[in-house]
Amino acid sequence: MRLLFTSLAAPQHLYPLVPLAWACRAAGHEVVFAGAPAIAAVAVHTGLPVAAVGEDLPPNSLTAPATTAATYGHERFPPNWPLHPRRLNADQRALLDQLGRNSAASAEAMAGDLIAFARSWRPDVIVHDTASFAGPLAAAVLGLPNLRHLTGVGLRPMERRAGSREPLPEYAALFERLGVPPRLPPTLSVDPSPRSLRLPVDGICLEQRFVPYNGSGSQPRWLLGRRTRPRVCVSWGYSVLGAALALGRAAIMPCLAALTGLVDLDVEVVLLATSRHLTLLGDLPPAVRVVESTPLHLVLAHCDLIVHQAGDGTALTAAALGVPQLTVTSKPDPALTSDRLAAIGAAVHLPYREVAADPAPSRLIGGVAEKMLADAAYRGAAGRLRREMAGQPSPAAVVPALCRLLEQP
């Protein structure tokens, strides 16, 4: 079987696809990843065959500063809102619809070239992440099945209007312009979320164990040595880079507050960052140990707690490694992930608005971290979640089942 993988042009959308893509290759199937030039350049380092298609959009061209500000300042979403969409207010629905429109704009920039490449390479199925609209569009145009791979708990499928069964107009327009009906639901979905966190999605869905992949890199040897103090990892992901263009240092306030609060504790503080993150953060407390451009799973396996913004990849990497999580979230999808982690006792969730409103945010985050490190219940809940995930079928075990389903007439 030939499988064409594609994703939204961001590493956090590419990385969850990599374990399944390699499982398919190891099983003898042909695999190619196709994406916009910027993400294709990242995908090359996964070892997969890669094709660059379409064009890159300018940074922050999809989301106006006002939308970014609304994302950070929105009223807290209702618990488990995908199960109760009628509880969303008008502003929350508008924010979710805007995320869908962003995906539609990204699809427009690459869909034509993706379809042209697929016509020449002739795949049997197109595999795409949940935010990629170009994947189902190409599959519909070419009459192929499409496999939607969820990134995890928080990022919900965005091709429908928020709280409605109707397709988002911008999603439907992509298909209508090419004379095909909107592809809803996908032929098949794969969900790497553990059962205790999972939310239902439309159509047939296979569960798959989440296998951490956060990019390529070398194992820092010093992490393997004996520790005398608890080690806390701080990571703020890729999404903050774009937000900082609109909000300035307000976007990185929680990260700075976490670092300042943690260095006052009797812990070792490790900051996982890229060079662009470090430029934004500026001068750091001397006690912070910076680990630059290293895959998260290589660091987090040797930590006792992580403080982060709760992107699906970071949250599920921590869950797979049994590490308790302290999350500070701005967007609705990380907040959803955080709430569900907190409900099973594996995390504490602090919404961005609450941290920003606190007169001493560093003391707030540091105090919560100190309590979590002292309370074995968080480590116990994180360990139970890790064991639950370890019992799920691996990507290698999922490949035969998905091939059988996709080959059915």
Pairing between β-strand 268-273 and β-strand 125-129 as defined by DSSP bridges = unpaired
Radius of gyration (C-alpha) of the chain in whole angstroms: 21
pLDDT digits over 165-190, tens only?
Answer: 999 999 999 999 999 999 999 999 99
Q: Does one domain contain both 45 and 141?
A: yes
Q: Does one domain contain both 258 and 194?
A: no
- Kindly report each contact of residues 344-349 with a partner whose C-beta sits within 8 Å and lies 24 or more positions away, as own/partner: 344/196, 344/197, 344/381, 344/384, 344/385, 345/377, 345/378, 345/380, 345/381, 346/319, 346/378, 346/381, 346/382, 346/384, 346/385, 347/378, 348/372, 348/378, 349/310
- Decide if 16 contacts 37 (C-beta within 8 A): no
Instruction: Tell me if 184 is assigned to some domain.
Output: yes
Report the pLDDT value the prediction gives residue 273, as an integer from 0 to 100. Answer: 86
Distance CA 370, CA 352 (A): 19
**Which amino acid is present at 393?**
P
Task: Summarize the confidence of residues 104-113 as an average pLDDT.
Answer: 94
pLDDT digits over 117-128, tens only?
Answer: 999 999 999 999
Residues in Cβ contact with 221 at an 8 Å cutoff, skipping those fewer than 6 apart: none
Task: Summarize the confidence of residues 261-278 as an average pLDDT.
Answer: 91
Q: Does one domain contain both 255 and 163?
A: no
Q: Does one domain contain both 248 and 180?
A: no
The CA–CA distances, whole Å, from 98 to 91, 184, 335 equal 11, 19, 17
- pLDDT over 80 at 244, yes or no: no
Q: Does one domain contain both 42 and 190?
A: yes
Q: Does one domain contain both 403 and 373?
A: no
Q: Does one domain contain both 193 and 227?
A: no
Q: Does one domain contain both 336 and 373?
A: yes
- pLDDT over 90 at 115, yes or no: yes
Please give the order of strands across the beta sheet that includes 231-235. 288-292, 268-273, 231-235, 305-308, 325-329, 347-351
Report the pLDDT value the prediction gives residue 126, as an integer from 0 to 100. Answer: 97
Instruction: Tell me if 248 is assigned to some domain.
Output: yes
Q: Does one domain contain both 29 and 155?
A: yes
- pLDDT over 80 at 405, yes or no: yes
* Owner of token pair 């560093």: 362
Q: Does one domain contain both 285 and 161?
A: no
Q: How many CB atoms lie within 10 A of CB 399?
A: 22
pLDDT digits over 331-376, tens only?
Answer: 889 999 999 999 999 999 999 889 989 999 999 999 999 999 999 9
The CA–CA distances, whole Å, from 300 to 254, 295, 304 equal 19, 9, 8
pLDDT digits over 305-333, tens only?
Answer: 999 999 999 999 999 999 999 999 988 89
Report the pLDDT value the prediction gives residue 406, as an integer from 0 to 100. Answer: 85
Report the pLDDT value the prediction gives residue 64, as an integer from 0 to 100. Answer: 56
Report the pLDDT value the prediction gives residue 70, as an integer from 0 to 100. Answer: 64
pLDDT digits over 9-68, tens only?
Answer: 989 999 999 999 999 999 999 999 999 999 999 999 999 999 999 999 875 545 555 666
DSSP three-state, residue 246 = helix
Report the pLDDT value the prediction gives residue 326, as an integer from 0 to 100. Answer: 98
Question: Whose CA is closest to 223, among 324, 302, 323?
Answer: 302
Distance CA 148, CA 400 (A): 16
Report the pLDDT value the prediction gives residue 105, as an integer from 0 to 100. Answer: 92
Among 285-294, 315-324, 392-401, where is mean pLDDT lowest? 285-294
- Residue 177 belongs to domain spanning: 2-210+392-407
- Decide if 161 contacts 168 (C-beta within 8 A): yes
Written as one string, the DSSP assignment of 110-155 is HHHHHHHHHHHH--SEEEEETT-SHHHHHHHHHT--EEEE--SSSS
pLDDT digits over 191-229, tens only?
Answer: 999 999 999 999 999 999 999 999 999 999 999 988 899
The CATH number linked to 300 is: 3.40.50.2000
Which DSSP category does 57 fall into?
A: P
Question: Whose CA is closest to 97, among 85, 109, 108?
Answer: 85
Task: Summarize the confidence of residues 153-163 as an average pLDDT.
Answer: 92
Q: Does one domain contain both 161 and 228?
A: no
Instruction: Tell me if 216 is assigned to some domain.
Output: no
Report the pLDDT value the prediction gives residue 170, as an integer from 0 to 100. Answer: 96
Pairing between β-strand 30-35 and β-strand 2-6 as defined by DSSP bridges = parallel
| Beta partners for residue 2, in sequence order | 30
| Beta partners for residue 148, in sequence order | 128, 189
H helices present in 248-311, as ranges: 253-262, 275-281, 296-300
Q: Does one domain contain both 146 and 100?
A: yes
The mean pLDDT of the chain is 92
Which DSSP category does 42 fall into?
A: H
Domain count within the chain: 2
Report the pLDDT value the prediction gives residue 71, as an integer from 0 to 100. Answer: 65
Report the pLDDT value the prediction gives residue 186, as an integer from 0 to 100. Answer: 96
Distance CA 238, CA 273 (A): 9
Stated pTM of the model: 0.95
Report the pLDDT value the prediction gives residue 14, as an integer from 0 to 100. Answer: 96
**Which amino acid is present at 348?**
V
Residues in Cβ contact with 408 at an 8 Å cutoff, skipping those fewer than 6 apart: none
Distance CA 26, CA 48 (A): 11
Distance CA 116, CA 124 (A): 15
Report the pLDDT value the prediction gives residue 254, as an integer from 0 to 100. Answer: 87
